[in-house]
């Protein structure tokens, strides 16, 4: 299967790197197009078998799948710059561009996917949302399997993209904001910033693994395990509640829809 990645910015470059490491696509079947040479050179230095070029049309002409990873306001011009065909698979990584718009830009009905990764895709740890239109179940499985190799992927209806983006993509920034605040607390209590960063980041990673490795559990169950009656953790949990922590998180998520 031949894959073209259009755009080698932060997201397009990360996807190209991840594809080159995947078991689904051979590196010499990946072609990346980008206007500037620097990012293409970085990709080719990391993966010599990968093909790079400036022409979107040339990159996409023989591709089975075309992944367009450019800014939303560039999507129309970029898609118009390629002679896409009905038997190709179009994958959009542009947030906010609907299937209706993509179909209008392409000028035809063709298998289409909207894919919403988060920045952890650079480390193969993305939570990626996938929605499809005019795609077969086999094509849906292919895309989900592909992005599962870059972390975890979940197929959702297009109507859920705004809400799930708030949880999986914007939510990354909220978790980082918690880590930043906890680091500040650590520094105030006499812990060096780098030590605090490692402790808190590992604690967040560990908390996530408790949930990911046991689908039958729930945050409340895991919290109960570490809140000894009269202990220090329950005092902190209650302080978070008194200060409106849960309410602030809920409001922040809803604000991102």
pLDDT tens digits, 17-34: 999 988 999 999 999 999
pTM for this model (two decimals): 0.91
Domains of the chain: 3-156 (3.40.50.720), 164-255 (1.10.3730.10)
pLDDT tens digits, 223-232: 999 999 999 9
Asked if residue 89 lies in contact with residue 109, where contact means CB atoms within 8 angstroms, the answer is no
pLDDT at 257: 85
Residues 6 or more apart in contact with residue 61 via CB below 8 angstroms: 82, 83
122 falls in which pLDDT band (50, 70, 90)?
confident
Determine the Cα–Cα distance for residues 118 and 18; give it in Å rounded to an integer. 13
C-alpha gyration radius of the chain: 21
Instruction: Compute, in degrees rounded to 10, the torsion defined by CA atoms 14, 16, 22, 26.
Output: -170
Determine the Cα–Cα distance for residues 68 and 65; give it in Å rounded to an integer. 10
pLDDT at 85: 95
pLDDT tens digits, 140-171: 999 999 999 999 999 999 999 999 999 999 99
């Amino acid at each position: 299967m031949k894959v073209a990645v259009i755009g080698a910015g932060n997201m397009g470059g990360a996807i190209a790197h991840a594809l080159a490491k995947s078991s689904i696509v051979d590196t010499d079947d990946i072609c990346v197009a980008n206007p500037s040479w620097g990012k293409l050179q970085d990709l080719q230095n990391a993966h010599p078998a990968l093909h790079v070029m400036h022409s979107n049309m040339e990159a996409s002409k023989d591709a089975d799948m075309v992944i367009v990873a450019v800014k939303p306001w560039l999507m129309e011009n970029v898609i118009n710059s390629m002679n896409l065909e009905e038997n190709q698979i179009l994958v959009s990584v542009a947030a906010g561009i609907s299937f209706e718009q993509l179909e209008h830009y392409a000028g035809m009905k063709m298998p289409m996917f909207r894919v919403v990764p988060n920045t952890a895709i650079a480390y193969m740890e993305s939570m990626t949302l996938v929605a499809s239109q005019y795609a077969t179940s086999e094509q849906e499985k292919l895309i989900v399997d592909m992005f599962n190799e870059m972390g975890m992927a979940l197929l959702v209806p297009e109507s859920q993209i705004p809400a799930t983006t708030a949880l999986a993509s914007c939510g990354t920034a909220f978790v980082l904001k918690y880590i930043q605040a906890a680091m500040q607390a650590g520094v105030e209590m006499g812990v060096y910033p780098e030590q605090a960063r490692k402790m808190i980041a590992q604690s967040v990673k560990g908390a996530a693994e408790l949930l990911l490795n046991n689908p039958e559990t729930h945050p409340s169950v895991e919290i109960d395990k570490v809140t000894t009656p009269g202990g220090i953790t329950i005092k902190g949990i209650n302080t978070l509640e008194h200060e409106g922590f849960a309410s602030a998180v809920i409001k922040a998520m809803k604000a991102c829809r």
